Structure 1
Amino acid sequence: MLGCTRVCRRPCHTLRRFYSNRNILKLKERGMFQDIFPDTASNVVTDMLNSSPQTVYGGFDPTADSLHVGNLLVLVNLLHWQRGGHQPIALIGGATAKIGDPSGRTTERTKMENYTIDDNIQGLYSNIKQIFENHEKYIWKDKDKMKSVKIVNNDEWYSDIKAVDLIGGIGRHLRMGTLLSRTSVQSRLQSPAGMSYTEFSYQLFQAYDWLHLYKAHKCIFQVGGNDQMGNIMSGHELISKVCDKPVYGKDFDATFLVQF
C-alpha cells in the first residue's frame, strides 16, 4: 500500500491597513484625537481640511539624544496628516530646551549645557528624518507622492530676537490671569517646589513658536499631548490678537488647534 501524504497549504496574506483621508478629524473615530479647540469648530475645520492642503506642526524638545515613547503619538499624528496630503512640520525646540517645559512635572528640569542640547538636536533631527523617509520608502505605497516633512529648530529665530523685544512686544498680548489659570502652572504654584519665572515663561515661547510658523508657513494647526493644552491655547490667543484673525473665520482666516 502506498502511503499518501496530504500537504495543506494555507495562503499567506499580509494584512496592511492604510489610512489616508484629507479630513484628519475622522481619526477621532479611531481614538487618535481627544479634543478639538475651539470645541465648536469641527465643521469649519472639516471644510478647511477638505478644501485644500493645510500645514500642521508638532513640537519636540531635545531633552535626550533620541526620540522616546512619549513622542510616538505626535509622530504618528504628523504621519497621518502627511498621508492626507497636508504639510507636516516637526519643530525641534533648541531654544525652549534651555528653558524647560514645566508641563506634567513636579520639579524644575535640570539645566542642560549648550553642547548637550546641540548633540540632542542632531539626534532628534536624524531620528525624525529617518522615520519619515522609512515610512515613505517601506510603508507608503500610494502613487501620489506626499509632501516632505519640514524639520525646523526654534533657536534659528530666537537667536535674532532681543529679550526686550520679545517681552515688550509679544508679552503684551498675553494676559496674566489667563496664564496663571493654566493647570500646569496651578499645580506647580501649589507644590513645595514652586515655579521659577524661567518655567513660567515657557508659555510665551511656545506661543511665539506657533506665531512664527503661522507667519512663515501659514501653519494653522498644532498637535500635541493633553499636557500641552495650556501652552497651545496661549499660542491660539496670541495669533488671534497679533494677526487679528477671528477664532471662527471663513476660508483660511481662522486659527484652530487640534489636540489629541
Structure 2
Amino acid sequence: MTNKKVGPPKKTYSESILKQIIYEYKSYEKPNGNISYSSVWNYAKNIWYEAQKDKDFASNELNDLKKYTSEDLWRKNNRKTGEPNPGKGLIDDTNKIKGYFITDSKNKKQQIPNVEDTVYKLHSKEDIIESLKPLEKLCLDFIEKESVLSAEMVKLKADLEYYKNKSEKQEEAIFQLARYGRSNEGLLKNVLNTGTSKSKLVADALENIFINPMEFLYEENKNEAISENVINIAERKKNLTDTYGL
C-alpha cells in the first residue's frame, strides 16, 4: 500500500487585508507611478507586520498574519497555474491605467484615459502617446459637433425671428381687417364674396394673414396640412366669420 504524501495546507489570503497593505504602503511611501513588487513586500514584512505586533492579537492570530510577509505572495507567480499570486495580482491591478467611461448621444460608450495615471505609470513616449490618443480624438469630435450645433442654432434663431415678425404682421393685419369691416361692412362683404371691388387695405390684410387667401375664402371643406409654425387658418376663418358675420 502506497502512502500518500500529505503536504502543508493551502494558504488562503484575505483580499481586504491585501488591499489594506497596499493602501497603507501607498499612504506611507507616496510613490509616483507604478509600485514595485519588492517595495510592497518589504513594507509588508518590515513595517506592516511589525505594527501588528503592537495590537491585541492572540499569538495564533499573529502567526496567521505572518503569511502576508511572504516574498512569494508579493513577487512571484503560482508554480502550478502560472498566474500571479494574490498579492502580486493586486499590485498589477493597482498599476493598471485607470480610465473613465462616458456615453455619447448615440448610447455608445467611450473610455477616456486618466492623464495622471498615464503620465506617471507609463515610461516610453510611444506608450503615453498611444494611451492619450482617444482623448485627443474625443476633443476633436466634440469641437466638430459644437461647430455643427452652433450653425444649427444660428439658423433656428433666424427662423424664430422670421416667424416672430410674421406673427406680428398677421396680428396687425387682423386688426386692420376688423377695423375696416366695422366701418365698411357692406363693401367688405362684397370684396370677400365676389372680388368685384379691389381694396389695397383688404388685399394686404388677407395676404399677411393667410398663405393662400383664396383657399380661405372659397374652399370650405378642403383639408390641408398646416405647418406647426403657422397659425391655424381654419380657426382664424371661423373666428372672423363668427365675429363679423362674413
TM-score, structure 2 as length reference: 0.16
Higher strand share: 1
Higher helix share: 2
Larger RCO (CA within 8 A; separation ≥ 6): 1
Q: Which has the larger radius of gyration?
A: 2
